[in-house]
């Protein structure tokens, strides 16, 4: 009987120890310095490429197809990185390219641990957007007017809400929920709207709100509002 009791106590202690370890792991503070190393150097042994190659120094991208990430809230960065991963039992990620093909991020993020993502996000959140993009069609007044109209008032006839209602009048977004669009590359914004519209990006807000919205917009409308969003301040 004593032996049985001892085994029960031992097992209970083991379970409690594992539970305490799990809690402790969850409470580990993200290491921004390690995140910087991942961002600038990657981890070749695990197939994690350096983020700087596409997203630029300190998150300031100089390539239009890759977004600025400098200053994005850590929680938002982590949530988006997870969307590039392919969930168990499924064949594709929630974030795909506009044509339905896998993004380059899927292979990279597939090798990351939660700690990697949290550390990387902590570093990114500390950076500042120093090289914002601008609207490229500022001289086209009709184009600007249409983009501003959609940004401020939406398209009521198609039940498209104003972009500013979530991304802010100045395009700064809502931390942890909706990203900043001010200063983002217009080409990137357009590509994301198209991916949402085609059903290849399936996580935009509650019940994929962005997918529904983008699907109601014409390509011309998407181009106009993407360009306007990049230049709004």
Average pLDDT, the chain: 91
Span 141-231 CATH architecture: Orthogonal Bundle (1.10)
Mean pLDDT of 23-30: 67
Encoded tokens for 18: 């594992």
pLDDT for residue 13 is more than 60: no
Residues 95-153 have pLDDT tens digits of: 999 999 999 999 999 999 999 999 999 999 999 999 999 999 999 999 999 999 999 99
CA distance 214 to 138: 23
**Residue pair 133/61 in contact by the 8 Å Cβ criterion:** no
Query: pLDDT confidence of 22, banded at 50, 70, 90?
Result: very low
Determine phi and psi for 178, rounding to 5 degrees: -120, 130
Annotated binding-site residues for heme c read 51, 54-55, 105, 163, 166-167, 210
Mean pLDDT of 39-64: 97
pLDDT for residue 71 is more than 60: yes
pTM above 0.85, yes or no: yes
Helix or strand run (H / E) with residue 124: helix 114-125
Encoded tokens for 185: 């590359």
Buried b (16+ CB within 10 A) or exposed e, 54-66: bbbebbbbeeeeb
Whole-number pLDDT of residue 205: 80
Mean pLDDT of 86-91: 93
Annotated binding-site residues read 51, 54-55, 105, 163, 166-167, 210
Q: Which CATH number fits domain 32-125: 1.10.760.10, 1.10.1040.10, 1.10.10.10, 1.20.120.1200?
A: 1.10.760.10
Whole-number pLDDT of residue 206: 77
């Amino acid at each position: 009987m004593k032996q049985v009791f001892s085994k029960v106590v031992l097992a209970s202690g083991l379970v409690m120890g594992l539970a305490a370890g799990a809690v402790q792991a969850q409470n580990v503070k993200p290491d921004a310095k390690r995140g910087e190393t991942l961002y600038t150097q990657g981890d070749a042994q695990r197939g994690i490429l350096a983020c700087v190659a596409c997203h630029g120094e300190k998150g300031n991208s100089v390539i239009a197809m890759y977004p600025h990430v400098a200053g994005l809230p850590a929680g938002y960065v982590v949530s988006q990185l997870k969307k590039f991963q392919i969930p168990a039992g499924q064949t594709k990620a929630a974030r795909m390219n506009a044509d339905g093909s896998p993004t380059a991020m899927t292979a990279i993020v597939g090798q990351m641990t939660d700690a990697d993502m949290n550390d990387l996000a902590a570093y990114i959140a500390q950076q500042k957007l120093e090289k914002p993009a601008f609207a490229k069609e500022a001289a086209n007044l009709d184009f600007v007017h249409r983009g501003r109209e959609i940004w401020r008032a939406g398209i009521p006839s198609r039940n498209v809400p104003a972009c500013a209602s979530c991304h802010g009048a100045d395009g700064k977004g809502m931390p942890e929920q909706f990203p900043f669009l001010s200063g983002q590359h217009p080409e990137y914004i357009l590509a994301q709207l198209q991916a949402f519209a085609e059903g290849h990006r399936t996580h935009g807000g509650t019940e994929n709100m962005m997918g529904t919205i983008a699907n109601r917009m014409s390509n011309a409308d998407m181009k106009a509002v993407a360009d306007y969003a990049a230049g709004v301040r």
